[in-house]
Structure 1
Amino acid sequence: MIVRSLPDSEASKAGSFEDPILNVAMTTIGVVGAGAAAAAATYVIDRAIEDAEVTVLEKSGGLCGRAATRRQGPVSYDYGANYLKDDDPRVTELLTETIDADGLVDTRGPIYAYEADGEIGPGRDSDGHKWSYEAGLTQIAKRLLGRTDATIHRNTRVETIHREGKRWRLTDTDGTSWGPFDVLVVNPPAPQTAELLRTADWDDPLREDLSEAIDAVPYRSVWTAILHYPFEQDRPYYAVINTDDEHEIGWVAREECKPGHVPDGESLLVVQAGQDWSARHFERDAETNVAELIDLTADLLDDDRLREPDWTDHQGWRYALPDDAVRQGPLDSAAEEHDLYFVGDWIPGEARLHAALRNGLDTGEQLVYRLSD
């Protein structure tokens, strides 16, 4: 089982998570966003509620949010979240035993560290698993949602949330209406979720309290450059990380350390700029940003060959990393009074993929318990 055992009082109401719950009436559930947390919550709901109808609306063409993967020819690369740690036993069991583990790979090599002076050396404990898939981290959401009967609509950006009596309705940017839903689950980063609440067609004092609490979650932006080279690099580490936040570059990872991602004889660096650099240059043109990060990377790794990648890619993550947890009281009230749930790594305030998945599992269970009560 991937979920915690229930007390006898709860188990008698909710049933087993290995079998559908039989005493929950037909329930329609709307999910805004298809990130890792939403995928985990949807998986729990679908497994536990026999007659649930789940509709997922995702603004982009992909799945799994900031756990994002791209391909260029034979090369695959995770350009948002770098890997999944094995820090949570329930998430570990989910990936290795519950869903299909075919293609799950462990990143090779330790993580070294450096400070403002750029001197790289051992110094970070990285003995645990650093998982991805041969096809990239997006496989997490694809495999979770693929084991459900949820209906997923990509390239569908929710613009307005409506409260109609005791049910929810959604309007997208094309003017299409979705719902009504008995339950609503909201997955975007905290600033985008707060904006959806501020503009919601919902006349309730809780709306303002929710939007203020969620908007208070601090976020860091990250600007990422992808640098590919037609030669191998011989280094003793998978990645290097800046530990004092005083360097222009915050992280450099070698994607060839993930089996199946980069062909032999090639290398690919995922370069994530530091917080201050990202904030200063987020709106600058991408070509200039990539060129500057190329030189900074060559200097940091002390290799002039790195000044001439044969191709590059880039991504700006405006809402990349939450720095604190949300105030929980308003979220609890929304769930108890209005069947409104929020999921994401910003709930626990831990910018890690395993934290997002754990939050999705926990929230899915909370939702099921409430519906079965």
Structure 2
Amino acid sequence: MSRVAVVGGGVAGAGVATALDGEREVVVFEREGEPGGRTATRRRAGHVYDVGANYHKGGSELLDSLDEGDLIDVEEPVWTFEGDGEIKPGDDRDDHKWTFEDGITILPRRLLERASATVRTGTEVTGLERTGEGEWDVLAGGGRTGPYDAVVLTPPGPASASILEHTSVDSGTDFDPAALAADLESFAYRSIDSFALAYSFPLDRPYYAAVNTDRAHAVGWLAREGEKRGHVPDGRSLLIVQMAPDWSVEHRETPDGRAAELAAGHAAALLDDDRLADPKWAERVSWRHALPDDEGIDANAGEAAGLYVASDATHGEGRIHASLEGGLEIGDRL
């Protein structure tokens, strides 16, 4: 059975492994200690909360097949607000909002487990080498592993570009990794600071979350994590507050405690509740390459040489359903 190396253990990488299950041996390289990527679930003081992607939108037979009694469809709607901060009923966006009792990170992890992929965590890929035999070696963790018949890159554009800048190919192909690296490096992203703000009292609203629609508010997204079954202890509440890109860039050097204080103040004003300005505890996660801010690029240049790209730079959407579909599509082509 031929082997495929997948760089990145997020949703896209899990999609590739799922499509190739039983067809190819799949080895996934994940630089963090656990797979997940932007499906970043954290745990603290009895709380489970998603500080990256909040849910998978739309219906999916694939998600249903992963249900072990812990799949959640968040029923409360998403409302909207503009720069004036007035929250209004939404437009039925994301009618289905799927996650799991233990967080959205269960999605890629369960897919990888079911696909029987080998996952090498804590292993950063720094480069690639295509040999004279038309196979690939992966330079990772200070060593070399291979051979692989194909490689799939799933990280954001700049991270994939960094790998391609340290990639060499044999004379048997006209694929130029430097040209593809330049396209991926130039792909634009928006930065986002995400805050988890915990409170010792319940917070009722007629909506699960509110999203800013005109990019004219300091807050881009605010969600009540307690609407996800099993995520927040009874009698408490936890807000996920994702700040707007401009705010996030402006406060990149602001210390975490002060940044959380400012974010909580914006949340209190937006929800018209002064109690929210003083959370019991807070956590900040900064996403430098959070949301694509460009149209997807054509990244097919390396496929004849066995190099595939399933990054969000290829579809230009900052949603995990798009990443999953992109990974599945690459896997089908392989």
TM-score bracket for this pair, using the shorter chain length = over 0.9
The aligned residue for residue 239 of structure 1 is 209
d(CA) in 1 for partners of 2:128, 2:40: 26
Task: Select 2:238's aligned residue among 231, 255, 268.
Answer: 268
SS of residue paired to 1:324: coil
**Distance in 2 between residues matched to 1:169 and 1:195, nearest whole Å:** 16
* Distance in 1 (alpha carbons) for counterparts of 2:46 and 2:72: 17
Q: How far 1:136 sits from its partner (Å)?
A: 0.6
Amino acid at match of 1:361: L
Q: Which amino acid aligns with 2:296?
A: V
Whole-angstrom CA distance in 2 between matches of 1:353 and 1:191: 18
Match of 2:56 in 1: 84
**Within the alignment, does 1:38 sit opposite 2:6 as a pair?**
no
Gaps of 5+ in 2: none
- Please say if residues 211 and 221 of structure 2, whose CA atoms lie closer than 8 Å, have aligned partners that are also in contact: yes
The alpha carbon displacement at 1:266 in A equals: 0.7
Secondary structure (helix, strand or coil) at the match of 1:192 reads: helix
Q: Who is 1:20 aligned against?
A: none
Q: How many angstroms does 1:101 deviate by? A: 4.8
CA distance in 1, matches of 2:331, 2:94: 31
Q: Deviations over 1:275-304 (max 9, x none)?
A: 110122223322221111111111111111
Matching residue of 2:33: 61
Identity, % of aligned positions:
42
**1:213 CA displacement:** 2.1
Correspondent of 1:333 among 301, 307, 325: 301
Partner residue of 1:252 out of 222, 229, 232: 222
Shift of 1:208: 2.1
Instruction: Summarize deviations over 1:34-61 as a string: whole Å, max 9, x none.
Output: 01011011111123x1xx3221110111
CA–CA distance in structure 1, aligned partners of residues 218 and 56 of structure 2: 25
Aligned to 1:169: 137
Q: CA deviation at 1:228?
A: 0.3
Once residues 324 and 227 of structure 1 are traced to their aligned partners in structure 2, the CA distance between those partners, rounded to angstroms, is 31
Shift of 1:205: 5.3
Following superposition, the deviation at residue 62 of structure 1 comes to: 2.1
Match of 1:319 among 260, 282, 289: 289
The answer to whether residue 161 in structure 2 is matched with residue 194 in structure 1 is yes
C-alpha contact 2:57 2:94 (8 A) present in aligned 1: no
Q: Does 1:109 align with 2:79?
A: no
Task: Determine the C-alpha separation between the residues in 1 that align with 2:143 and 2:254.
Answer: 34
**C-alpha contact (below 8 Å) 2:210/2:223 kept by paired residues:** yes
Matched with 1:4 is: none
Is contact 1:334–1:340 with CA below 8 Å preserved after alignment?
Answer: yes
**Alpha-carbon shift at residue 184 of structure 1 (Å):** 0.6
The TM-score normalised by the length of structure 1 is 0.85
Structure 1 gap segments, 5+ residues each? 1-25, 368-373
Query: 1:123 & 1:157 partners in 2: Cα distance?
Result: 41
**Aligned ranges 1:18-167 → 2 under 5 Å:** 26-47=1-22, 49=23, 52-86=24-58, 92-96=60-64, 98-126=65-93, 128-165=95-132, 166-167=134-135
**How far apart are the structure 1 equivalents of 2:84 and 2:239?**
21
**How far apart, in 1, do the equivalents of 2:194 and 2:297 lie?**
30
Which letter does structure 2 place at the counterpart of 1:40?
G
Q: What do the CA deviations read for 1:294-348 (whole angstroms, capped 9, x no partner)?
A: 11111111111111111111100001111233332xx32311x211111133321
Cα distance 1:169–1:127, how it changes in 2: closer, same or farther (>3 A)?
Answer: closer
Structure 1 letter corresponding to 2:240 = V
What's the TM-score, normalizing by structure 2? 0.94
Query: 1:214, 1:326 within 8 Å by CA — same for their partners in 2?
Result: no
Aligned to 2:312, what secondary structure does the other structure show? coil
The structural deviation recorded for 1:77 is 0.6
By how many angstroms is 1:176 displaced?
2.1
CA distance in 1, matches of 2:114, 2:94: 31
TM-superposed deviation, 1:127:
6.1
User: Distance in 2 between the 1:285 and 1:155 partners?
Assistant: 27
**Any conservation in 2 of the 1:39–1:64 contact (CA below 8 Å)?**
no
Deviations 1:71-121 (Å, cap 9, x if unpaired)? 1132111110111100xx6xx11111x334531101131112111111112
Q: Distance in 1 between matches of 2:313 and 2:223?
A: 24
8 Å Cα contact 1:95/1:101 also seen in 2 = no
Confirm or deny: 8 A CA contact 2:300 2:309 kept in the other structure: no
In 2, the alpha carbon distance for the partners of 1:366 and 1:101 equals 30
> Secondary structure of 2:83's partner?
coil
Contact 2:9-2:35 within 8 A present in 1 as well: yes
CA distance in 2, matches of 1:266, 1:212: 48
Aligned residue pairs total 330
